[in-house]
Amino acid sequence: MSGCYKGKSVDIVIHNARIHTMNESDVIYEAIAIKEGKIVEVGPEQQILNKYTSKEEIDAGGKDIYPGFTDVHGHIIDLAKRKLSVDLTGTRSYDELLMRLEKYSQLNSSSFIIGRGLDTSLWSSKEKFTNERLNSVFSKIPVCLYFIGDEVVVVNKDFLTKSKIESKDGIIKGNSIEQVAKILPSYSKHQLKKTILEIQNQLFQYGITGVHEAGVDFENLQLFKELVKSNQLKLNMYAMLAPSEKNYEFAKKNKIQKIKNLTVRSFSANSNLSSEELKRLALVCEITGYEMNIKSSANTNNTLIYDLIKTINDVNKDHRWRIDAAQNLSSKEYNQFAKLGIFPTIFPNQSLSNPTKNVAFKSILNQTGMVAIGSNFPFETFNPSITIHTSVQGLNSENTPIKGISPRETLTLEECIKGMTNWAAFSSFQETNLGTIEKGKDATFVVFEFPVISGPEFIQNYASMTFIKGKKVYSTE
């Protein structure tokens, strides 16, 4: 009987591999056949080689193949802006800060200096931080520096004079940050597009084939659409819109929209929205069929959010509304997830910058049976090898235990990877096409350079080849 089928034509056959399907049985196979971007069959080596003839045959050299990883909470636009600004990540002193700013100023003929990623908690000096030294070095050009998290900025005197914003020491917080953002010059569309494509290539190198982009404003949604329609943005993009009048109008008019690899069907907001804004957001999501994804905070009363979700859950048991960064919540709060139909996401790498916060990765997973994993980049690293080491071992990349992660709250390697594949797809209604390596699904997967394992010693892994819908989008060769 097998002879009757031998010679079926496909586009690609990959063999001599360890193919982790990541489905319920999680069978490991040796070969896969692909045609027109879809998986035709995955199975034993000889079965696939005998059954199919292909235009291209790839020997994987015994390497691990997994479904492409998805980061379920990232900010590509913010990362692009950071790359176009002065990168202040890791500065250890005021002197180093000024050195980076001066170097940027010398290399760029800009009339404005914007820096991002400042974290003065890393500085050995504990003196009160002000804009005094900024004023003396940069007296004739506006300077605006964002602290990590973008919730605090410091500006120099020239900026204050031209913006007419009042501040004695240049430190600006709260609602005044919105005033600062309105004054800052915009990067050109060409600059943003070029940088976004550079970021895309970085993601592919790590085996990340999809991102849930959080807080997309209307203008940047159009930018993503242009990149997708021109076939430049190949990344699977799940857009989580920011609450705004233009985005509300877009959702009501277009409902759920899918353009090639771009899906628009959710809103993302912080839990500190006013009760009126949250109720309006929930109403828009309900009538459009969009997910409501709320980024949690330990300092926010989430009662209203839970009440809104319960109301929707009573009507639609499969709305999949999400609480992002669920590791920030208390046991009293996350113990309601199963009852209310809440889908949780966690950001393990946030424990690296906030090591005093006790986290409950395993307890949250046990509540719901699934948990999706994101990084909240660029505020944390999107490196999946670090995500695995953090969530499975409770260690940082220097193999030091992370305060706040107890051994009983760590995940297994399989659970962590499912959080970036199978469960990530389910968290965004994309499980029909993504998340596992099975017949009929998109041929979106990664061939990893080294075995995907987890142990007490940190191992940096990366993609040898990355495929999206059967197309090789990255290769070390």
Q: How far is CA 137 from CA 142, 184, 185, in A?
A: 11, 20, 21
- Backbone angle region of 181, left / alpha / beta, with phi > 0 → left and psi within -120 to 50 → alpha: alpha
What one-character-per-residue DSSP string does 89-104 give?
Answer: TT--SHHHHHHHHHHH
What pLDDT sits at residue 469? 98
CA nearest 159: which of 140, 178, 146? 140
* Amino acid found at 210: G
Contact status, residue 71 vs residue 374, Cβ threshold 8 Å: yes
Contact status, residue 75 vs residue 203, Cβ threshold 8 Å: no
Length of the chain: 477
Q: Is the dihedral of CA 296, 302, 307, 308 positive or negative?
A: negative
Q: For a pLDDT cut of 70, what percent of the chain falls above it?
A: 98
Q: Who's near 181: CB < 8 A, 6+ residues apart?
A: none
pLDDT tens-digit profile, the chain (477 residues): 444 445 799 999 999 999 999 998 889 999 999 999 999 999 999 999 999 999 999 999 999 999 999 999 999 999 999 899 999 988 999 999 999 999 999 888 778 999 998 999 889 887 788 999 999 999 999 999 999 878 899 999 999 998 888 898 999 988 788 888 888 888 899 999 999 999 999 999 999 999 999 999 999 999 999 999 999 999 999 999 999 999 999 999 999 999 999 999 999 998 888 889 999 999 999 999 999 999 987 667 678 888 888 888 787 778 889 999 999 888 888 998 988 889 999 999 999 988 767 899 999 999 999 999 999 999 899 999 999 999 999 999 999 999 999 999 999 999 999 999 999 999 999 999 999 999 999 999 999 999 999 999 999 999 999 999 999 999 998
What pLDDT sits at residue 1? 42
* Burial tier of 477 (Cβ tally within 10 Å: 0-12, 13-18, 19+): exposed
What pLDDT sits at residue 2? 44
What pLDDT sits at residue 97? 95
Domains of the chain: 2-62 (2.30.40.10), 69-76+189-434 (3.20.20.140), 112-183 (3.10.310.70)
What pLDDT sits at residue 308? 86
